[in-house]
Amino acid sequence: MNKDQVKGTAKKVGGKIEEAAGKVTRSAKLEAKGNAKQVEGTIQKNYGDAKAAVKDISRRS
């Protein structure tokens, strides 16, 4: 696992917590912020996955 995969996963989890907090407190702003963090985390994790795949392919060559 590379740092982008770890950071992306952490952002997703943090975003889910933030979204849940927004729902509990009925704060649309906090909920939206949590959703945005989840998207950001997904993108970063996917980037890390792609980097890992390229590295794996280059090792096989």
Question: What is the tens place of the pLDDT at every residue in 3-44?
Answer: 999 999 999 999 999 999 999 999 999 999 999 999 999 999
Eight-state DSSP code of residue 60 = H
State the pLDDT at residue 61: 75
27: phi then psi, degrees, rounded to nearest 5: -105, 105
Looking at the predicted structure, is the pLDDT value of residue 60 above 90? no
pTM across the whole model = 0.88
- As a whole number of angstroms, the longest Cα–Cα distance in the chain is 53
Question: Alpha-carbon distance 19 to 41, whole Å?
Answer: 13
